[in-house]
Amino acid sequence: MLKKLIAATLYTALSLGAIPATATDLSAAAALREGTLQKLGFHDAPKDVSPLPFTTTDGVEETLADYDGKLVLLNFWATWCAPCRKEMPALDQLSAAYGDQGLVVLPVATGHNPLPAIRSFYEKAGIETLPMRIDAKGAMARDMGVLGLPVTILISPEGKEIARMTGDAEWFSPSAQAIIAELLNVTPLPPADDSAESH
């Protein structure tokens, strides 16, 4: 009995010991929030995500579990949502910059979003790297507690929600890149040379 009690106590201590490391990682990322990214709220403890499916443009079902092992920036949006449309090019830039380093930017059009309208918006906005995913009835968004749009959720490689933002943001700003780079444990891209563009 005593051995079991000691083993249980040791297991609990080891389990609790793993939490501060994660919290430290998140606090480092949280400290990098500036400008519009100040609205990004990091959770004290990771949260479960919805198991409900969403679909590709071909109607193939996927779930967030399909992206385990990657840092996922899940963005709920709609074609009729002006702030959603505004931030999409920056999300596309973020995806292009960090997609080969373990980041998946995953926009999910939720609610009534006809596929032709999604395709038309992607074309007009010059979206090149982002996938098209659809939550046609909004079931997944509701299960994730999404009450307005846009909502962006950061999901750890372990498949847990670690941060959330309601409203649009400058997702390719230095602050956004620094946060993503910190979570990926990679070096942020150097700042763009604006002087080269002016010549």
pLDDT digits (tens, 9 = 90+) for 146-191: 999 999 999 999 999 999 999 999 999 999 999 999 999 998 888 7
pLDDT for 18 equals 34
Residues 6 or more apart whose Cβ sits within 8 Å of residue 137 = 111
CATH (domain of 103): 3.40.30.10
- In a domain, residue 4? The reply is no
- In a domain, residue 194? The reply is no
- In a domain, residue 165? The reply is yes
- In a domain, residue 197? The reply is no
- In a domain, residue 67? The reply is yes
Residue 173, domain extent: 40-186
- In a domain, residue 176? The reply is yes
Contact (Cβ atoms closer than 8 angstroms) between residue 103 and residue 74 = no
Q: Which is the catalytic residue, given 40, 49, 72, 84?
A: 84
Average pLDDT over the chain, rounded to an integer: 88
- In a domain, residue 21? The reply is no
81 catalytic per annotation:
yes
Q: Which is the catalytic residue, given 37, 40, 78, 81?
A: 81
Residues 6 or more apart whose Cβ sits within 8 Å of residue 149 = 76, 77, 78, 81, 83, 84, 110
Inform me whether the pLDDT recorded for 3 exceeds 90: no
Contact (Cβ atoms closer than 8 angstroms) between residue 79 and residue 118 = yes
178 catalytic per annotation:
no
Confidence band of 24 (pLDDT split at 50, 70, 90):
low
In the chain, how many domains are there?
Answer: 1
Residue 69, SS3 per DSSP: coil
Instruction: Indicate the length of the chain as a whole number.
Output: 199
- In a domain, residue 136? The reply is yes
Provide, rounded to the nearest whole percent, the portion of the chain with pLDDT above 70: 84
pLDDT for 100 equals 95
pLDDT digits (tens, 9 = 90+) for 37-68: 999 999 999 999 999 999 999 999 999 999 99
Confidence band of 4 (pLDDT split at 50, 70, 90):
very low
Contact (Cβ atoms closer than 8 angstroms) between residue 64 and residue 74 = yes
Place of tokens 């090019």: 89
- Tokens read off for 171: 């997702």
